[in-house]
Amino acid sequence: MHAACTRRRSAPWTCSLLRHHPIDGPFGAHVAADPNHWVRRLPGGLFHNTLSHPLYRITEFLTDEEPEVWATWFSHEERYPFPTELRVHLRGRRVTGSLLFTSAVRPRFRRTRVYGTAGTLDVDLEGQVLRHERDARLPGVFAKLETPWWQWREAFRNLTTNIRRFCRSDLHYFAGMRRLFALFYAAIRDGGAPPVPYEEIIRFTRLLDTIFASCRRWEAIQDRPEGRDVPPSSASEEAGRFDGIDEPARQRMPVEAGVSESGSSA
């Protein structure tokens, strides 16, 4: 996974994200071989099961209620009768972001990059590594020596940090999930607010539906016969705007979803 945030005067932050999830291993083999696998029957197919994780790396910065969305999906290999690569571009008032989910690259990784005016953070979620990148401060050719020295320093700092975490039995793959569960059950016991606000859950799931609807619209544009119109997107009659859920996806849902005039889920 790769995410990035860049700050500028006109658009203070820009985020991008890359997610890699190959179609291999026992789980991937079952999804590829079984046309009725529950993952392939989801509105978002393969991506619906995992896209929430990398997408939230962007929405943490992109807080707009209804950002503009451009998304498409496709497959690099003919042996897969379903999309295996997804590209998404998001645009908000102050933040833009891009997301790439692909099964075509090696080595597999999950990476986040955050670009800012003072420097860049590179987060390797697989290796539990956090690197800080900045402009070289030495002039001319000396910058060519400062840059690798700074990268070596960052690598050494991460190595010592992970060694200490390993000695404390604190180097876990699902450490973040453990903390989320702990906060969730604490909210139940104490009657406090949930770790993820309900409004954020609704906003996020609506954005997820909008991404998949955008992908299907692009499929319709590419596959439509010459001279025929592209099937229209579903729209909320109450709000008079697209609610992110088109008809094929809506038919798979046990309860019809929509958007009310106040913007809440109906």
Segments forming the whole domain that contains residue 8: 4-141
What pLDDT score does 4 carry? 47
Written as six digits, the tokens of 202 are: 């609704």
30, 37 contact by CB (below 8 A): yes
Radius of gyration of the chain (CA): 21
Instruction: Give the total number of structural domains in the chain.
Output: 1
Determine, yes or no, domain membership for 228.
no
Determine, yes or no, domain membership for 16.
yes
Determine, yes or no, domain membership for 114.
yes
Written as six digits, the tokens of 209 are: 């539906």
Strand partners, 111: 18, 124
What pLDDT score does 247 carry? 52
What pLDDT score does 53 carry? 83
pTM of the model: 0.66
Determine, yes or no, domain membership for 83.
yes
User: How far from the centroid of its chain's Cα atoms is residue 246's Cα?
Assistant: 21
Determine, yes or no, domain membership for 18.
yes
Which CATH number fits the domain that encloses residue 27?
A: 3.30.360.10
Match 């597999």 to its residue by tokens. Answer: 108
Could you tell me the mean pLDDT of each successive run of 10 residues in the chain, 266 residues long?
45 46 56 69 78 85 88 77 83 86 79 80 88 90 94 96 92 82 93 90 90 83 56 35 46 40 33
Determine, yes or no, domain membership for 221.
no
What pLDDT score does 224 carry? 58
Determine, yes or no, domain membership for 236.
no
Determine, yes or no, domain membership for 178.
no
